[in-house]
Amino acid sequence: MRIAISTGGGDCPGLNAVIRGAVRTAVAKYGWSVFGIEDGLQGLLRPEPLRPLTPASVRGILPRGGTILGTTNRGNPFGVASGELGQEDIPGKMIARLEAEGIDAVIFVGGDGTQTIAQRFRERGLKVVGVPKTIDNDLDATDYTFGFDTAVGIAMEAVDRLHTTAESHDRVMVLEVMGRHAGWIALHAGISGGAHVILLPEIPYSFDAVLAKIRERQRNGLSFSVVVVSEGAYPAGEAPSFRSHPGKSTNARLGGAAEQLVERIERETDFEARATVLGHIQRGGSPSHFDRLLGTRFGYHAVELAAAQKFGRMVCLRGTEIGDVDLLDAMGQNKQVDPHGQICSAARAIGICLGD
Amino acid sequence: MRIAISTGGGDCPGLNAVIRGAVRTAVAKYGWSVFGIEDGLQGLLRPEPLRPLTPASVRGILPRGGTILGTTNRGNPFGVASGELGQEDIPGKMIARLEAEGIDAVIFVGGDGTQTIAQRFRERGLKVVGVPKTIDNDLDATDYTFGFDTAVGIAMEAVDRLHTTAESHDRVMVLEVMGRHAGWIALHAGISGGAHVILLPEIPYSFDAVLAKIRERQRNGLSFSVVVVSEGAYPAGEAPSFRSHPGKSTNARLGGAAEQLVERIERETDFEARATVLGHIQRGGSPSHFDRLLGTRFGYHAVELAAAQKFGRMVCLRGTEIGDVDLLDAMGQNKQVDPHGQICSAARAIGICLGD
Amino acid sequence: MRIAISTGGGDCPGLNAVIRGAVRTAVAKYGWSVFGIEDGLQGLLRPEPLRPLTPASVRGILPRGGTILGTTNRGNPFGVASGELGQEDIPGKMIARLEAEGIDAVIFVGGDGTQTIAQRFRERGLKVVGVPKTIDNDLDATDYTFGFDTAVGIAMEAVDRLHTTAESHDRVMVLEVMGRHAGWIALHAGISGGAHVILLPEIPYSFDAVLAKIRERQRNGLSFSVVVVSEGAYPAGEAPSFRSHPGKSTNARLGGAAEQLVERIERETDFEARATVLGHIQRGGSPSHFDRLLGTRFGYHAVELAAAQKFGRMVCLRGTEIGDVDLLDAMGQNKQVDPHGQICSAARAIGICLGD
Amino acid sequence: MRIAISTGGGDCPGLNAVIRGAVRTAVAKYGWSVFGIEDGLQGLLRPEPLRPLTPASVRGILPRGGTILGTTNRGNPFGVASGELGQEDIPGKMIARLEAEGIDAVIFVGGDGTQTIAQRFRERGLKVVGVPKTIDNDLDATDYTFGFDTAVGIAMEAVDRLHTTAESHDRVMVLEVMGRHAGWIALHAGISGGAHVILLPEIPYSFDAVLAKIRERQRNGLSFSVVVVSEGAYPAGEAPSFRSHPGKSTNARLGGAAEQLVERIERETDFEARATVLGHIQRGGSPSHFDRLLGTRFGYHAVELAAAQKFGRMVCLRGTEIGDVDLLDAMGQNKQVDPHGQICSAARAIGICLGD
């Protein structure tokens, strides 16, 4: 059998673990040939041969962030928005290329957009297997995906660091972390870092509630506070603060949520406030052990699905076990923080202000 | 309501998160009083008053390892092995002390031994809630406990470091990690660190199989190997290598498993081999975000169980949700690595030697 | 003898090491009494007693960032700019307070501003000893101060992380680090992180030179670049980009240098560019071993100077030895990066663009 | 010009930075050709061609530990001890090979042994430049070498971790770190980690003094202690505890110094004591920013020496500047901890027991 692997969407620590796990399983256990498609699916449209992936070529990539195959946020082959791809039947060209290369099946590693593309290819007859990837942890079909754990770890370390400077200077330190539509990173990093206020896209916040918390602390002799805010958090009654950057990918403008809050605190109170925006640091660098193991297991199971001819499915984590779901059941099922779920209830019980 | 908290057994990153989560929930949400019992249960036998725990007294402990209450491996109040406690009715004295202090319920944070003690107290009428703690991850009643994630992270970083020195010197580097009866730390750290051989207590190993792997790598031009071994791993046909130290707690002798392997490699082959024994470093220091959040949630849910008068139960993690089980169902249910489970199958598929 | 310690200016990892080193030396070696002045010198104007510092009260602070004494950027007692302090003879009040408390000498831990204040107090008869503190490493009187090493470590880790995401996405990643007037952090973090372009306040940059480097890399098949920029870096012919925030301390506005560069790259080229601004994360958190040891040694030597009645001097590091200089020789002697010094020459030789 | 690079002796974080710095300087600034000699000097005796080193081939190695050229502790070409090399004129063969390859000069990166070999080659007419490497920091000719900073950082983190477990369990935790003849790592990691006892090869220790310190702490209510011990530390009146392993390299036996101390504490007192032996973890893994920058600068300056035809010299660090010394002045000048120097005096003043 000959299979190909593609990584799409934003990069994520653990992608290389998936590639390595799939390649080693396919080659060592099944004796298959594996090929990498470069830069999302763009590599299928280029004249260069697909990249052969062997145990030797994936050696040493486990601890490395990013993806050795490259990725891109641009260019949905099925999309009308894809100006660069024009009116041609791009998916058809891609399928033809795969057939010409003798590829039997493709493993699509990516988020909701990528899995939707995988499903569209499936509808046109391609044998596909999905591996979920979302650093924001917002896919409902799986308990966790790789990358999220690493991102939370980086964000929590930043919260730890801000504590000491906040306390030394009696300041309100605001840390903006990733999460446009789901506040998982802010929630996990905020609780584990000991933040006093956590603001999420799922709970439009009351500025008065935030101020009340900061002032309650001040009355208790704690004249500093640490706030963790998702990039997609916004005040109740207003629109989300992040903006797209026309013609480029959409996360060109960071920091809006944090700056909005800092400016208002400084304008309306006597507190000194400072914003820090972690940005891309959260998705780079060496993956945590959790993400390396999960990525490895996902890669292994994706190949097992192919070996069992179970196509059109996406691997997922449920508890401690890897399972799989139909791509149709995985698509578009976003997982947001439940404002009244267990974790938010625990956060409020221990005195964290969630903006409501 | 007045509740007390005790931490028992070996220390574990995340214990302070449990204490803080429980105290803040009990005080802020329910207005209860909380007291800490120092050094396991020893504090109940001393004349000093129990230690009042307030939001102020747990401030700043979230990122700190260990337990502010102290702990001990000695002294099961129900045990005949407990020479220092003698023939008296120690549990009765402890219950009397708790009654004298007006304590309504006790949260026991600890491993299998501690939960068994909690159950014995329950049988004598004490209202108890259990919080599981095992750095080895060997409790069947919960998917994970706090401390394990931190330990695996430390162990994986050590594996990462050994790779470069192994490769530069063409050596076999052997890392011994915790795990006398369960190999979870070795398995997770070994896979995520890219080890070539992983030896677990659950799979008595064949030295020939280990050598075969090292030599297969050499034939492929890779004249170095990294081996991760649980302290409780041992060759098939022999007894486990770790030994107790009479009169002191039982982990006085580390390094047996690694040294045994290194000596044999050096004696029977031309390879240079070196042992590293992580020891107590694995259980000290600041907890990972996973362990801080899980500890916080466990502390919160333990208080919620008490508030709901659901005594005799232990909190647990199932998937992403916290639940609870009867102490009777939690006791003695050890969780070992399944040699034919998903993770071991993935490990073998990607070419890792598990000693069999 | 009775001495007091004050920490002034921005917080810095290692301040607690200085306090601990001074307190333990003064108490254990000399049997003195030590007192802490809170929030810079503000504590001298408050009715509360000075804070007694003992070996017990400094226990456990070595690994902690910030300063247990608090600090402030506001309020030079000699300054006309100090609106909140008014027309009174504030320094005289402070000296009177110190006399009333029986304080024989004061250790001033702080940057250029703080040392200037120490010198002014010296001129009014106070016995003073200085300990230099500047996270930017811009004091000429000492090879290094504590805090700088920790900041460079944090910044370098961020550069490491940006590499993988830059490479996966073919982007220009721009990291802004601290340094308004001196580019040491950018220079050290940039070289050690493997940045391709490093922009410093000392070398006003040519945008064309930056673009030329990015395009040279692209021609070599490397369609990504990592740029490290000091907050005080600016294009040749323009003014520095950072702006003060009136009425608050001056670093309210971060990110200007990075944003300016990113906007221009995106406007004038086809490259995707992204800015990350580390901000206060660089000065918080646990100090590196270098900063803990240097802070400890500075604290020890400051007390030794007092014991030897060598007042009016500031401790400093020269090579591996601690020495001391007259405060008059230390003040206002800023140390900037020499554009033609050894490090810049090495940077250019290995192919790094310094903007010129 | 055509130059070669060799890395000898134990591996050390920063070796790749030296190689990269030298290669990029030689190629980009001077247009030379550079070749790597593999596995110390062994590559000169093998039929394979020398390894061409180009900017492309050193790409990405800066953050990686170890050395891409490999190294070995075996085989001094001038040594009678070198059983494997026999009676031939090995150095002559090596020089002939270098001439045959057209190599004009060789950069020797290594410790005292390697620099002595470089000097011997120099005496036979080879143009040589030395770059010092010693993770133990025991070369007198330079303030610091790369690798030491990384090792101290790893050791200090271990000390930090042992604190929490020591305190939770009321134990004496003993950490053994590298340093057979010089105690720099123990001294720096011990002070920066807040150890209570530090034992060095330079100060044969009194067990009674160690016990006195532990008991003094106990009397102050601190029933735990952290001890950092160099592998070469030993009791006064006895011989050093580490032993060589015949026929293999000499560091086969670690842990002797720690075990000796732990056994005696457990035998003669009621304290529980535990040993941890860091071993090879200290020399593996990604280098610190200090070591990456210093390695880069050493590599650059080594090429500058060659370009200036200043052969027979070794680069060194003095304060913040790179200089160079004659190899004859560098050889055999070991730098040990001065028991009465500044750092030991500071350690004693803040209450650390140095065993005397």
Contact at CB, A157 and C285, closer than 8 angstroms: yes
Quote the pLDDT of residue B80: 52
Quote the pLDDT of residue A88: 80
Tell me which chain B residues have a C-beta less than 8 angstroms from the C-beta of D268. none
Contact at CB, C65 and A165, closer than 8 angstroms: yes
Whole-number average pLDDT of chain A: 91
Q: How many other C-beta atoms lie within 10 A of the C-beta of residue B140? A: 15
- Choose from D59, D289, D315, D335 for mutation: most chain C CBs within 10 A: D289
Identify the closest residue of chain B to A163 by CA–CA distance. B60
Quote the pLDDT of residue B241: 54
Q: How confident is the model over C68-98, as pLDDT tens digits?
A: 999 877 668 887 544 455 568 999 999 999 9
φ/ψ bin of D185: left (φ > 0), alpha (ψ from -120 to 50), beta (otherwise): alpha
Quote the pLDDT of residue B36: 98
Lowest mean pLDDT among A222-231, B194-203, C9-18, C251-260: C251-260
The amino acid sitting at D71 is T
Res C37 pLDDT > 90: yes
* C-D contacts (CB, under 8 Å): 121
Tell me which chain D residues have a C-beta less than 8 angstroms from the C-beta of B277. 255, 276-277, 279
Of C25, C318, C343, the CB nearest to D350: C25
Put simply, whether B20 touches A (Cβ < 8 Å) is yes
* B-D contacts (CB, under 8 Å): 134
- Regarding beta strands A105-110 and A128-132, do their DSSP bridges make them parallel or antiparallel, or are they unpaired? parallel
Whole-number average pLDDT of chain C: 91
Quote the pLDDT of residue C80: 52
Quote the pLDDT of residue C248: 36
Q: How confident is the model over A270-321, as pLDDT tens digits?
A: 999 999 988 899 998 899 999 999 999 999 999 999 999 999 999 999 999 9
Of A266, A274, A281, the CB nearest to C161: A281
Which one is catalytic: C39, C136, C149, C324? C136
Q: How confident is the model over A86-121, as pLDDT tens digits?
A: 568 999 999 999 999 999 999 999 999 999 999 999
Taking residues A138-144, what's their average pLDDT?
Answer: 94
Which subunits count as partners of chain C given 3+ CB pairs below 8 Å? A, D
Of A158, A169, A285, the CB nearest to C71: A169
Taking residues B236-261, what's their average pLDDT?
Answer: 62
User: Which residues of chain D carry a pLDDT beneath 50?
Assistant: 81-83, 243-253
Contact at CB, D25 and C321, closer than 8 angstroms: no
Quote the pLDDT of residue D72: 79
Quote the pLDDT of residue B173: 96
**Confidence band of A250 (pLDDT split at 50, 70, 90):** very low
Taking residues B21-50, what's their average pLDDT?
Answer: 96
Res C159 pLDDT > 90: yes
Tell me which chain D residues have a C-beta less than 8 angstroms from the C-beta of B170. 39, 70, 72
Which one is catalytic: B11, B39, B112, B136? B136
Q: How confident is the model over D189-209, as pLDDT tens digits?
A: 999 999 999 999 999 999 999
Which subunits count as partners of chain A given 3+ CB pairs below 8 Å? B, C
Q: How confident is the model over B104-149, as pLDDT tens digits?
A: 999 999 999 999 999 999 999 999 999 999 999 999 999 999 999 9
Tell me which chain C residues have a C-beta less than 8 angstroms from the C-beta of A157. 285
- Percent with pLDDT over 70 in chain C: 93
Q: Which CATH class is domain B150-283?
A: alpha beta
Nearest 5°: phi and psi at A102? Answer: 75, 25
Taking residues B197-225, what's their average pLDDT?
Answer: 95
**Confidence band of C168 (pLDDT split at 50, 70, 90):** confident
Quote the pLDDT of residue B225: 96
Contact between residue A181 and residue A234 where contact means Cβ atoms under 8 Å apart:
no
- Choose from B167, B192, B219 for mutation: most chain A CBs within 10 A: B192
Quote the pLDDT of residue B82: 44
Measuring CA to CA, how many Å separate A56 from each of A60, A294, B220, D68, D273?
9, 21, 10, 17, 45
Instruction: Look at residues A162, A153, A176 and name the one whose alpha carbon lies nearest to residue A279.
Output: A176
Instruction: Tell me how far apart the alpha carbons of residues A21 and A298 are, in angstroms, rounded to a whole number.
Output: 8
Q: Which CATH class is domain D150-284?
A: alpha beta
Taking residues C231-255, what's their average pLDDT?
Answer: 62
Distance between B217 CA and the closest CA of chain A, angstroms: 12
Instruction: Tell me how far apart the alpha carbons of residues D250 and D73 are, in angstroms, rounded to a whole number.
Output: 9
What HEC string does A197-253 produce?
EEECCCCCECHHHHHHHHHHHHHCCCCCEEEEEECCCCECCCCCCCCCCCCCCCCCC
Of C164, C254, C272, the CB nearest to A65: C164
Q: How confident is the model over B39-51, as pLDDT tens digits?
A: 999 999 999 999 9
Contact at CB, A167 and C66, closer than 8 angstroms: yes
**Predicted ipTM of the assembly:** 0.93
Identify the closest residue of chain A to C72 by CA–CA distance. A169
Put simply, whether C17 touches A (Cβ < 8 Å) is no
- Classify residue C209 as exposed, middle or buried by CB count within 10 Å of its CB (0-12, 13-18, 19+): middle
Which one is catalytic: A112, A136, A291, A324? A136
Identify the closest residue of chain C to A249 by CA–CA distance. C272
Quote the pLDDT of residue A241: 55
Q: How confident is the model over C273-318, as pLDDT tens digits?
A: 999 988 899 998 899 999 999 999 999 999 999 999 999 999 999 9
Tell me which chain B residues have a C-beta less than 8 angstroms from the C-beta of A175. none
Res B178 pLDDT > 50: yes
Annotated catalytic residue D138: no
Residue B105's beta-bridge partner residues? B3
Instruction: Tell me how far apart the alpha carbons of residues D1 and C350 are, in angstroms, rounded to a whole number.
Output: 17
The amino acid sitting at B235 is P
Measuring CA to CA, how many Å separate A62 from each of A296, B165, B190, B194, D29?
9, 17, 12, 7, 35
Contact at CB, A342 and B351, closer than 8 angstroms: no
Res C213 pLDDT > 80: yes
Retrieve residue A196's tokens: 């006093």
**Annotated domain spans of chain A:** 2-146+287-330, 151-283
Q: How confident is the model over B163-176, as pLDDT tens digits?
A: 988 888 889 999 99
The CATH number of domain C151-283, selected from 3.40.50.2300, 3.40.50.460, 3.90.180.10, 2.60.120.260:
3.40.50.460
Q: How confident is the model over A143-165, as pLDDT tens digits?
A: 999 999 999 999 999 999 999 88
Contact at CB, B274 and D285, closer than 8 angstroms: no
Measuring CA to CA, how many Å separate D113 from each of A15, A337, B9, D43, D149?
43, 61, 49, 18, 21
Tell me which chain B residues have a C-beta less than 8 angstroms from the C-beta of A297. 342-343, 346
Quote the pLDDT of residue D2: 98
- Same fold flag, A2-146+287-330 and A151-283: yes
Whole-model pTM: value is 0.93
Residue holding tokens 């030599």? B215
Put simply, whether C251 touches A (Cβ < 8 Å) is yes
Quote the pLDDT of residue B251: 39
Nearest-Å Rg of the Cα atoms of chain D is 22
Quote the pLDDT of residue D45: 94
Tell me which chain C residues have a C-beta less than 8 angstroms from the C-beta of A285. 157, 160-161, 164
Res B333 pLDDT > 50: yes
Quote the pLDDT of residue B74: 67
Put simply, whether A285 touches B (Cβ < 8 Å) is no
Tell me which chain B residues have a C-beta less than 8 angstroms from the C-beta of A193. 62-63, 289, 292
Res A246 pLDDT > 70: no
Quote the pLDDT of residue A82: 45
Distance between C230 CA and the closest CA of chain D, angstroms: 17
Quote the pLDDT of residue D315: 98
* B residues 293-352 lying closer than 8 A (beta carbon) to D: none
Instruction: Tell me how far apart the alpha carbons of residues D14 and D71 are, in angstroms, rounded to a whole number.
Output: 13
Report CA torsion sign: C139, C143, C146, C147.
Answer: positive
CATH architecture of the region A2-146+287-330: 3-Layer(aba) Sandwich (3.40)
Tell me which chain D residues have a C-beta less than 8 angstroms from the C-beta of B254. 274-275
Of B66, B165, B272, the CB nearest to D283: B165
Distance between A348 CA and the closest CA of chain B, angstroms: 9
